[in-house]
Structures are given as structure tokens and as C-alpha cells.
Structure 1
Amino acid sequence: MTSLIFAVILGCVYCYLRWKDRRMLRNGIVLVAACWFALLGVAEILAQWFPWTSWIALGFVALTPLAVLVLAGFLIANGVTMLRHEGRSLGNLLSLVTGVALLVLPLLAVLLVLSMNPLAIGLAALLFFLCSYFGVVFVVFLAYALAYGRMKQRTDPDAVVVLGSQIINGKVPPLLQSRLDKGLDIYQGAPIGATPLLIPSGGQGPDESVAEGVAMARYLVDAGVPAHDVVAEDKAVNTAQNLQFSAALARDHSRGDALVVVTNNYHVLRAALLSRKLGLDAEVVGSPTARYFLPSAFLREFAAILVEHKTLHAIMCLPFLGITGLLVIGVLAASH
């Protein structure tokens, strides 16, 4: 019962934090904690009413290694699919590399422990601590990314910003087209007399024949949007600049500060975190993405968030180094 009480309290805290500001990753921490305590509470009640359910819980724990193997196999297969459909690049290799790591790291940890070398045992413990920490952080990120992606916009925007991605031969590829179509839906669904400005945003890469914003603007106009309702932003080279430059364009065209930013569903949370960091009044909505693309895309977004908060995560990992040091000292003392 205590676990359920904690779950209810944390659920209320999550609802308050989400109402106060959706664009904070701490909301995901509270959400995952609430779900965890709810699961524990339900398991405790089932164990009291139906004692045999305890064996089911133990079965799930025992099957954890099998679940890791299944996950690793899925990620490796997805990595092969990514290479086949998207070509070779570091981002496209992420699911493959993660799948291989899920197979190799546990074996490496076992071999280190079996060596009976104190330093090797300490390294195995450190691997366990770090993998557990980043695993939990990934669960928090993924859970809140999915939750945020399902949230509906709460305001009628003054401008709709569509974030760019690579164009091919001056044309809009399917990934980018899904963003533009989502932006069109928002534009066309606006109340009469409150039509937002459409701002397709993206600069010109070295392998692109035209700026992404310009190609996107052509697509929107060809789709029937009046040219005076479309203003291309063609200088941005990353998401932060997409947001900053587009907000400035909206102000230059005498629009308000309320923005709706459109990107693909895997990118919504990081774009939302960036918009808050930049002090923008923006909500972020997601467009559909091909399923095979999602595992690598979410891993790439997770890696980007880790890099953006590298100092925080480095500090959070310091206790693991201290515990590992104490463990090595203890093993050395016991061996003598």
C-alpha cells in the first residue's frame, strides 16, 4: 500500500509539473518513478491476494538476460536495415553498435570478475554502475519523449515553424514531407482570422543545391498556401538556430511570440528542451516517422541530450567512481 501512496503522490506532482511547464526532462523522472511505484504496489497487492503471482514476478526477473538478448538481436537487425535503407553513417550505425554492446559488455564483465584481479573486478563493477545509470536515464528520456509527443498543442500559434532536414536533388524527401504536411494541418486548422505564418527553416548544406527552407517553402506554396503566409528561414545550420532565427522572423513580420514547432516525433523532446532553454514561447509537435528509422533516431537524440548535459552526467557518475574505489580497496584487503 505504501508503494501505491508514493505512486499517487508522484502522479500528482507529475501532473503539476507538466501543467507548469511541459518542456522539462525532470517531468520524465517523476513520471517513471510514479509508474515504478505503481507497479510495485500492484505486485504487492497481487502477492497478498494471490501468493502464486510472486513466482510470476520471479520468472520475469529470471528472464531478464533473455530479454537483453532479444533486445540486442532486434537492435542489430534494425542496424542492418538502417544501413540498407539509409547508407553508412555514424548516426545510422547507432542501433547496430548498441545491440553489439548489449551482447559484449555482460560477457566482458563476467570475464573480468572471473579473473579474480581486484582492478578487473572494480572495472566490472564500474561497467555495471555506468550501464545501469545510463539505462535508467534512457528509460526516462524515452518515456517522456513518447509522453510529450502525444500531448496536444494548447494555444493557437502566431507562427508555425517547420524544422528542416536534408533535401535530395532540391526536392523534399518523405521524412521532411511528413513535417511539412503536419505544419499544413495546423495552418489549415487555425481559427478564421487567426491564420499563422508558416516558417520553413533550414540552411543550405554543402551537398544541397538549395537551402532547405527555400525548398520547403516551394512545397508549401505548391500545396496551396498563399505566398504571403510563407516566409523561408534559410540560414540555420542546427536546431537552436532554427528556433532562434524563426522566432526573429515571426517578430519581423509583426506576429506574436506564440510558436508551434513541427518536427518528427523522435525529435520533439529535444526541440522542446531547446526552446525552453532559449526562452521561447513554443510548443513542439511531431509528425510520423518510418518505424525502422525510430530506434536509431531515438538513440541519436538520447546521445545528443547526453552531450548537451555532459557536465551534469559527469557529476552524477562521480559516486560510482568512489564506490568502485572502495570496492577495489576492500577486495585488496580481503586478498591479503
Structure 2
Amino acid sequence: MTAISAGIALVFFLLFVASRRRDARRFRNGVFLLMAGGFAVVALSGLLVAAFPPLVFVFVVAAVLVPVLVLALAVFAIANGVTMLRSEGRSLGNLLSLLVGVALIGVPFVVVVLVETGRRSSVPALQDVTFGLGVVVVFVTGYAALTFAAFTLWSLVYARPRVREQPDALIVLGSGLIRGEVPPLLRSRLDRALAIYRATPDGVRRPVLVPSGGQGADEPRPEGAAMAEYLIAQGADPADVHPETESRSTRENLVLSGRVLTDAGRTGPTLVVTNNYHVLRAALLARDTGSSADVVGSPTAAYYVPSAFLREWVAVMVEHKLLNLLFVAPFVVLLASLLVYTRV
């Protein structure tokens, strides 16, 4: 078992290295890395238990504590959801952490109810249906947990501070303004871009700055205009600031900013700057739009991070809903077929 786990871990690690080298801006990198790490832990655990048999007691205790850890995570998620609602206002995005906390408690309860209902029923068909529904709920929940873990893992790895080459342009993705002014969340993106801009070596052409964002229904002016004002106030040369003020989404940020760069004659390496929780989704969108731009992240307030990662994960899953359906649907069909087969 240990050798098999180690072999599987090695295969996933090699897949990760190859995929990472080909394009770091892919969600599957996180899946490969997570699977490699998971099977490596299983293999290492087997080796440790074989060398020191008393350690099996530690792993048994750890397994027993899993429900307690899940409950603690649920309490944390609910508390974070309440903080988000109080600090950021009521919206579906701000509710995500709270909903996940409730789900962590509610899903096991639903599965137990389904299985128990089937067990107590004298109708064989109902027993099969409730058992099947319970298995589907467990599978879908596990799939969601694994994809979220892979998304979060690769987001954190990919977003680590780095600038591989001197950029010719810096695109700063917009977010909402508050009363027409740059709020702390957006300011962290602009400050990160300014730090890279100021670090330009002597004798090298400075990158242009493209603050990108249109005007929302509740905003008195375009985000790009407010961002450009902030950049110039912080010392950026006005000639280096080329605001983009028409975009309404991250995809439009990237596409329209690319046109601004083309008009400015800047076709060299481009860096996109956003908050760390948004890096991977922005990178996926950059890849989808045909851009070669890399993405770097800036710090985010700690209380905002859980809900932000959840929101980005949901957005990626929705954007790739057909692919996710292709993964989940065969399992559901197989389960239904097995239930029918056992009833014949």
C-alpha cells in the first residue's frame, strides 16, 4: 500500500511539474499538486507506522478528531460570515462563508437522515433511492471540497511575491470605489504596482501603468480615473499612467487594457496586479483571452480572505460548469445504473 501511494504521488508530481512548466496559469496545477501531496502523506504515514508501530495510535486519534476539526471549521466559517456581513454589507458574495459553515454542519445531518429514512422504510425502492441520494450528496460535497482545496492551494502558491522579468506594462485591476475614492482593498493593488514601478533599474524604460475599471451604477466616476489620480498623487509620472475606464468585469479589464497598451506601443512583458485571492482567476482569464500576461498579488485584510477565496472559487466553477458536469455526471449515472441493476 505504501509503495502504491508513493508511486501515485510521484506520477502526480511529474504531471504537476510538466503542467507547471507549460503554463503556470492553469487550475489543474493545483489539482496535481494537491493529489501529489495527499498521496505522499499517505505513503509517509505508512513508512512511519512500519518503522514505529506505536505511531498508529497517533493516526487513530487524528482520525477521531476529524469531526471535531470539521465542527471547529464550521464555527469559524459562520463567525467569519457574520463579520463579513457587518463589515462589508449584505450580498450573496459576503454570505458565502456563512453558508459554507452551515453546510459543514448540515450536510452530515442530511446524509444521516437520508440513510436512516431508507433503513427504517419497508419499501425497497425507497431504501435504494435514499441510499443513492446520500452517496451522491457525499460525492458532490467531496468533489467541491477537493476542488476548493486545489484552487486555494495553487492560488497561494501562484500568488507568492515574484517578478520574473522587467515588465513593460503594469495593469492594475479595479474594484469598487467608496464615495468616488480609492478604498484600502484597491489601494493595496495600486501600492503593489507602484512598488514594482519604482523598482525599475536605472537606464531601463519604466513600465506604463494601466489602472483599469469602468464606472459602476453606484459610483460617481470610473474606477480607472480614481486609480490614475491616486497613482499620480503617489509620485508616478503622469506620462506613464494610461487609465482604462470602460471595463465592467475582469475579462473586460484585461481585453480593454490590452488595447490601451497597443495604442501606447507597449508590447513587451505585462504584469497584472490584483489582490492575492483574485490572482488565480485573473490568470485563468488572461490565458483564456490569449494574453501572455502574468499576475501578481497584493495583501488583503485577513477577515476578507475566506469569503474572497470562496467567491473566486465559485466564479471559476461556474465559468467551467460544463467541465465540472462532465466529472460529476458519470458518477451519478453509474450509481443510478447500479441501483437499477441490484433491483432487477
Instruction: Tell me what 1:106 maps to.
Output: 108
Confirm or deny that 1:147 pairs with 2:149.
Answer: no
AA aligned opposite 1:189? A
Query: Residue deviations 1:43-96, cap 9 Å, x none?
Result: 011011101112222222222211111111110000000011111111000000
What is the CA–CA distance in structure 1 between the aligned matches of 2:227 and 2:161, rounded to whole Å? 25
Confirm or deny that 1:218 pairs with 2:229.
Answer: yes
Structure 2 CA distance for partners of 1:98 and 1:142, relative to 1, 3 Å: same
What is the CA–CA distance in structure 1 between the aligned matches of 2:136 and 2:9, rounded to whole Å? 31
Q: Is contact 2:161-2:297 (8 Å) kept?
A: no
Which of 63, 66, 76 does residue 65 from structure 2 map onto? 63
Aligned residue pair count: 333
Which of 129, 132, 138 does residue 148 from structure 2 map onto? 138
What is the CA–CA distance in structure 1 between the aligned matches of 2:25 and 2:181, rounded to whole Å? 32
SS of the residue corresponding to residue 90 of structure 2 reads: coil
SS of the residue corresponding to residue 300 of structure 2 reads: coil
TM (norm. structure 1) is 0.95
SS of the residue corresponding to residue 88 of structure 1 reads: coil
Instruction: Tell me what 1:188 maps to.
Output: 198
Instruction: Tell me what 2:20 maps to.
Output: 18
Instruction: Tell me what 1:308 maps to.
Output: 319
Instruction: Tell me what 2:261 maps to.
Output: 250
Structure 2 CA distance for partners of 1:283 and 1:42, relative to 1, 3 Å: same
The offset of 1:327, in angstroms, is: 4.9
Which of 179, 182, 196 does residue 169 from structure 1 map onto? 179
AA aligned opposite 1:232? P
The offset of 1:328, in angstroms, is: 3.5
Instruction: Tell me what 1:49 maps to.
Output: 51
What is the CA–CA distance in structure 2 between the aligned matches of 1:12 and 1:317, rounded to whole Å? 25
- Percent of pairs with identical residues: 45
What is the CA–CA distance in structure 1 between the aligned matches of 2:148 and 2:342, rounded to whole Å? 32
The offset of 1:332, in angstroms, is: 4.7
Confirm or deny that 1:89 pairs with 2:91.
Answer: yes
Q: Is contact 1:250-1:257 (8 Å) kept?
A: no
What is the CA–CA distance in structure 2 between the aligned matches of 1:200 and 1:215, rounded to whole Å? 9
What is the CA–CA distance in structure 1 between the aligned matches of 2:38 and 2:219, rounded to whole Å? 47
Instruction: Tell me what 2:239 maps to.
Output: 228
What is the CA–CA distance in structure 1 between the aligned matches of 2:39 and 2:133, rounded to whole Å? 31
The offset of 1:36, in angstroms, is: 1.2
Q: Is contact 1:265-1:286 (8 Å) kept?
A: yes
The offset of 1:6, in angstroms, is: 3.9
Is there any run of 5+ residues in structure 2 with no aligned partner, and where? 119-125
What is the CA–CA distance in structure 2 between the aligned matches of 1:27 and 1:39, rounded to whole Å? 18
Root-mean-square deviation (CA), in Å?
1.5
Instruction: Tell me what 2:123 maps to.
Output: none
SS of the residue corresponding to residue 190 of structure 1 reads: coil
What is the CA–CA distance in structure 2 between the aligned matches of 1:10 and 1:134, rounded to whole Å? 20
The offset of 1:267, in angstroms, is: 0.2
What is the CA–CA distance in structure 2 between the aligned matches of 1:165 and 1:222, rounded to whole Å? 19
Query: Residue deviations 1:223-277, cap 9 Å, x none?
Result: 0111000011000000001001111111111111421000000000000011111
The offset of 1:121, in angstroms, is: 1.9
Q: Is contact 2:274-2:295 (8 Å) kept?
A: yes
What is the CA–CA distance in structure 1 between the aligned matches of 2:298 and 2:276, rounded to whole Å? 5
SS of the residue corresponding to residue 187 of structure 2 reads: helix
TM (norm. structure 2) is 0.93
What is the CA–CA distance in structure 1 between the aligned matches of 2:199 and 2:97, rounded to whole Å? 37
Instruction: Tell me what 2:166 maps to.
Output: 156
Which of 265, 268, 275 does residue 276 from structure 2 map onto? 265
With 252-261 and 77-86 compared, the bigger mean Cα shift is at 252-261
Which of 292, 295, 303 does residue 303 from structure 2 map onto? 292
